[in-house]
């Protein structure tokens, strides 16, 4: 079976951000060398013979561009060795502003990378320092200029809102500055205080708080309004793009399609199972070197779970879930499975069912988790 997408995790960072709960470690040259060797062993164990031709490749982290130029080139060679890059319509690298000197930009371009996702977060130097970021606002301008000059024009900016101490006016300034670049894609997420982060420890000690919920809602509504005014269509709860520049890789997730996940702590989704890799680097490297399968555990996915995830993920998209696709995929009439919850959600104006689709309303997007829990099924329902 053709697996449409590949995710590759590079867990190294020059500094650990206070909010981040992804698998990440301080950059160490020797450890990074060992990691790349182990990563290739893992990839080869799944792709042992000829190259595969995925629709999308996404290299995330951590910070892939925290690698040295030599290591970045080695990584690009490894990816090229097992994947038909010419057949890949979207090849994305995550990067931090300030990491991309001219040589790294040219290197990425020369190996076929055609999309860059920049972790900007906020256009405010004081706020960047408070959340543990190393870059400054000026670095965003420098790096975007370098990318554009190299012909890498498919650029996405990531922003975070509802940061500690952030006001609606401050977030508006960040959105306005981000939109001045007039890039084809923007993502913006509200801060989540996750366990095992610096912010979580401060929150537990009463030394950190988020803005009130009404301010967070105002920030989200402001974001939607300003993106729409600049021609960036909202196609998912947190993502906005010019037509044709939606993230094909992330749509793999939201369409509940299969993907490989390579690297420490990476998750993969293959027919009938989800695979979760070992997170600690020494253990990941040891297991990958021994047998190429540094798997922490495999989770079988039942039919019920597949259907639930189809709704949880699909409803994140503005266009929602196509009922014909649902029925073709699962052999079930949608209303027979979920007819019991639809009147309640419609009455609360959280969903709309029209044109053979079910989608969240504006109110439903603000209360997404409440909607999603209504689509949990009993085993007897399927």
DSSP letter assigned to residue 184:
S
Cβ neighbors of 234 (< 8 A, separation 6 or more) are 224, 227, 228, 240, 318
* Calpha distance 249→114 (Å, rounded): 13
Report which of 27, 23, 29 is spatially closest to residue 60, judged by C-alpha positions: 23
Q: What is the dihedral of CA 80, 39, 99, 122, to 10 degrees?
A: 110
Query: Has residue 267 got a pLDDT over 60?
Result: yes
User: What values do phi and psi take at 9, rounded to 5?
Assistant: -105, 125
Which CATH architecture does the domain made up of 303-381 adopt? Orthogonal Bundle (1.10)
Q: Which two tokens stand for residue 51?
A: 């190259």
Query: Has residue 171 got a pLDDT over 80?
Result: yes
pLDDT > 90 fraction of the chain, expressed in percent and rounded: 83
pLDDT of residue 380: 56
**Cα-based angle 30, 34, 39 (whole degrees, multiple of 5):** 145
Q: For 26-50, how does the pLDDT look when each residue is reduced to its tens digit (9 = 90+)?
A: 889 999 999 999 999 999 999 988 9
DSSP letter assigned to residue 241:
E
Query: Has residue 263 got a pLDDT over 90?
Result: yes
pLDDT of residue 187: 98
Listed as own residue / partner, the contacts of 364-373 with beta carbons closer than 8 Å and 24 or more positions apart are: 364/315, 365/237, 366/217, 366/220, 368/237, 368/315, 368/316, 371/315, 371/345, 372/311, 372/312, 372/315
Name which of 164-173, 202-211, 242-251, 362-371 the model is least confident about.
Answer: 202-211
Instruction: Break the chain down into helix, strand, coil percent, rounded to 5.
Output: 45, 20, 35
* Calpha distance 246→261 (Å, rounded): 21
Query: Has residue 116 got a pLDDT over 80?
Result: yes
**Cα-based angle 169, 119, 372 (whole degrees, multiple of 5):** 75
Residues 348 and 371 sit within 8 Å (Cβ to Cβ): no
Q: For 94-109, how does the pLDDT look when each residue is reduced to its tens digit (9 = 90+)?
A: 999 988 999 999 999 9
pLDDT of residue 242: 98
- Average pLDDT of span 186-207: 83
Query: Has residue 20 got a pLDDT over 90?
Result: no
Which helix (H) or strand (E) covers residue 277, if one does? strand 273-277
Helices within the chain (DSSP H only): 29-46, 69-82, 102-110, 125-130, 137-149, 168-180, 198-204, 213-229, 248-254, 281-291, 303-314, 323-330, 334-338, 342-347, 362-366, 368-373
Confidence band for 19, pLDDT divided at 50, 70 and 90:
low
Q: Which conformational region is residue 91 in: left (phi greater than 0), alpha (psi within -120 to 50 degrees), or beta?
A: beta
Task: Decide if domain 5-254 falls under CATH 3.40.1230.10.
Answer: no
- Average pLDDT of span 104-131: 96
Half-sphere exposure for 247 (CA within 13 Å, toward CB) = 30
pLDDT > 70 fraction of the chain, expressed in percent and rounded: 97
Confidence band for 2, pLDDT divided at 50, 70 and 90:
confident
Query: Has residue 18 got a pLDDT over 70?
Result: no
Query: Average pLDDT of the chain?
Result: 93
Name which of 227-231, 243-247, 282-286, 373-377 the model is least confident about.
Answer: 373-377
Name which of 5-14, 176-185, 190-199 the model is least confident about.
Answer: 190-199
Please provide the DSSP assignment of 260-274 as one string.
Answer: EEESTT-EEEETTEE
Say whether pTM exceeds 0.75: yes
For CA atoms 203, 191, 61, 183, give the dihedral sign. negative
pLDDT of residue 382: 61
pLDDT of residue 209: 82
Q: For 41-78, how does the pLDDT look when each residue is reduced to its tens digit (9 = 90+)?
A: 999 999 988 999 999 999 999 899 999 999 999 999 99
- Average pLDDT of span 184-188: 98
Every domain of the chain and the residues it spans: 5-254, 303-381
């Amino acid at each position: 079976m053709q697996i449409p997408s590949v995710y590759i995790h590079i867990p190294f960072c020059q500094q650990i951000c206070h909010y981040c709960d992804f698998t990440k470690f301080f950059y160490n040259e020797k450890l990074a060398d060992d990691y790349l060797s182990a990563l290739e062993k893992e990839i080869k164990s799944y792709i042992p013979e000829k190259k595969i031709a995925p629709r999308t490749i996404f290299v995330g982290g951590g910070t892939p561009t925290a690698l040295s130029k030599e290591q970045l080139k080695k990584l690009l060679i490894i990816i090229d060795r097992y994947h038909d890059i010419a057949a890949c319509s979207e090849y994305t690298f995550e990067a931090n502003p300030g990491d991309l000197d001219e040589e790294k930009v040219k290197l990425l371009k020369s190996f076929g990378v055609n999309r860059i996702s920049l972790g900007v977060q906020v256009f405010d130097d004081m706020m960047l320092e408070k959340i543990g970021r190393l870059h400054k606002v000026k670095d965003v301008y420098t790096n975007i200029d370098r990318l554009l000059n190299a012909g890498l024009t498919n650029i996405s900016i990531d922003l975070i809102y509802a940061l500690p101490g952030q006001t609606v006016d401050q977030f508006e300034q960040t959105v306005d500055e981000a939109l001045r670049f007039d890039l084809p894609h923007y993502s913006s997420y509200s801060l989540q205080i996750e366990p095992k982060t610096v912010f979580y420890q401060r929150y537990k000690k009463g030394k950190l708080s988020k803005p009130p919920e009404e301010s967070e809602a105002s920030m989200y509504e402001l974001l939607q309004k300003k993106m729409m005014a600049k021609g960036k269509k909202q196609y998912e709860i947190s993502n906005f793009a010019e037509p044709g520049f939606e993230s094909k890789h992330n749509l793999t997730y939201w369409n509940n399609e299969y993907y490989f996940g390579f690297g420490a702590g990476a998750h993969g989704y293959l027919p009938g199972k989800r695979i979760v890799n070992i997170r600690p680097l020494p253990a990941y490297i040891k297991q990958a070197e021994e047998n190429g399968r540094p798997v922490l555990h495999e989770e079988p996915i039942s039919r019920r779970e597949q259907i639930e995830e189809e709704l949880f993920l699909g409803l994140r998209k503005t266009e929602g879930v196509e009922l014909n696709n649902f029925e073709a995929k699962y052999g079930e009439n949608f209303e027979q499975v979920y007819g019991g919850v639809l009147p309640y959600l419609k009455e609360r104006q959280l969903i709309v069912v029209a044109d053979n689709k079910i989608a969240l309303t504006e109110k439903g997007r603000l209360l997404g988790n409440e909607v999603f829990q209504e689509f949990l099924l009993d085993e007897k329902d399927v």
